[in-house]
Amino acid sequence: MHHRVYLTPGMFGFARLASFDYFVHVERGLARRFGDAGQELEVHVVDVAPTASVRRRAARLAEVVDRTAGEAGPLHLLGHSTGGLDARLVASPRVRLPTSDDPPRWLPRLRSVTTMNAPHYGTPLASFFATSKGQRALYALSAFTIMGLSLGQRPLAVASMLIAMVGRGDKAVGLQIRLLDRAVEGLLGVLDDARSPEVRAFLDAIKVDQGAVLQASPEAMDLMVAGIDDQPGVVYQSTASMAPALSAGKWLRTLGSPWTTTSMTLFIALHGITSRYGKGYPCGAMSETGAAFAGHETEATLARMLGAPPDLHANDGIVPIRSQLWGQVVWAGLGDHLDVLGHFRGDEATAHHHHDWLTSGSAFGSREFETLMDAIAAGMLKAAG
């Protein structure tokens, strides 16, 4: 049987930029498992605007599926982070997108929607990024990601400025922003090879359209949860992770490496913002009975997979763990937001080595990633019958 899977990146993610593939490890992992099951798999990585609105990103996803779905065979959607919201919106039976077919002609062939660490109920980090200080931090964080992952640079100057911006209050914000802008421009100035225009275009797109940043706030996602239905007959599955407890000891053990120390310090700052819990918008399914969260079965699944129920502040550095739950939870464990994509510290001697651009101390590695991919692929294959 010939399957097609469509992979959609998250906020400030990309299909391929410079020498870096966002989904390379997921793509290879799925292809191997489908092959072992005697199934053909055709993978499409969707290039969406990094921080554009979910509706615009979903329209782009729908366009790619329209063009490449063919006439037969099961279809699967997989989105990481806000890419999971794109996938859910495309699959919703009542959605109205600016596409040629309404509803899409391929929709009856859709078998599964997989969301990896997606902010289904929002994230406090999006609320921070929506502020004037946060918008510049988001831009710099994107530059930091690109240079740290795809270009092999160690942009400690930008990381230090980011830590100052997200880790301190609004004091001296103007000075920090000016210094941050100079640091980012200084780093971009070294990108004078053939990849530079591509990188600059990516960063410009973030400046132009930050709709997804606003929409991923807890308040905005409260409306999306109320208005977006699941497609009948389609299997919805999710993965969820949280960073382990952060300690002074873990931080002290990084002091031999300036890059690792700075990276972990930045992660701690992002994790702290994401851990903010609001009773009105708790970034999780609310119970009509007044309990903090709905779904006793899901809570039991989390407790079983993690060894204990996570506290209200648990998150992967970007998204609260309970916000990541939608449909059947097929995997949950200790790991940060990018670990689950295979971007963890690994053997850099391999052809597709792993990069760990934010150090969370999760100890997530190849064994955990293989188990995660087993669960996702098994769900897809079962959904296709």
Mean pLDDT of the chain: 79
Q: Express each pLDDT in 51-93 by its tens digit.
A: 778 888 999 999 999 999 999 999 999 999 999 999 999 999 8
| DSSP summary character for residue 75 | E
Of the ranges 26-35, 69-78, 94-103, 139-148, which one carries the lowest mean pLDDT score? 139-148
The domains of the chain, with CATH numbers, are: 1-130+210-385 (3.40.50.1820), 131-209 (no CATH)
Q: Express each pLDDT in 203-228 by its tens digit.
A: 666 666 667 778 899 999 998 888 89
Buried b (16+ CB within 10 A) or exposed e, 188-197: beebeeeeee
Average pLDDT over residues 226-241: 94
Q: Express each pLDDT in 189-207 by its tens digit.
A: 544 443 456 666 666 666 6
pLDDT of residue 153: 47
Q: How far is CA 280 from the centre of its chain?
A: 24
pLDDT of residue 300: 86
Of the ranges 231-240, 273-282, 306-315, which one carries the lowest mean pLDDT score? 273-282
Q: Which residues contact 33 (CB under 8 A, 6 or more apart)?
A: 373, 374, 377, 378, 381
Distance separating alpha carbons of residues 67 and 89, to the nearest angstrom:
18
Highest mean pLDDT range out of 163-177, 205-219, 262-276?
Answer: 262-276
- Whether residue 271 has pLDDT greater than 80: yes
pLDDT of residue 145: 64
Question: For the packed helices 156-167 and 258-274, what is the interaxial angle rounded to 10 degrees?
Answer: 30
Distance separating alpha carbons of residues 369 and 377, to the nearest angstrom:
12
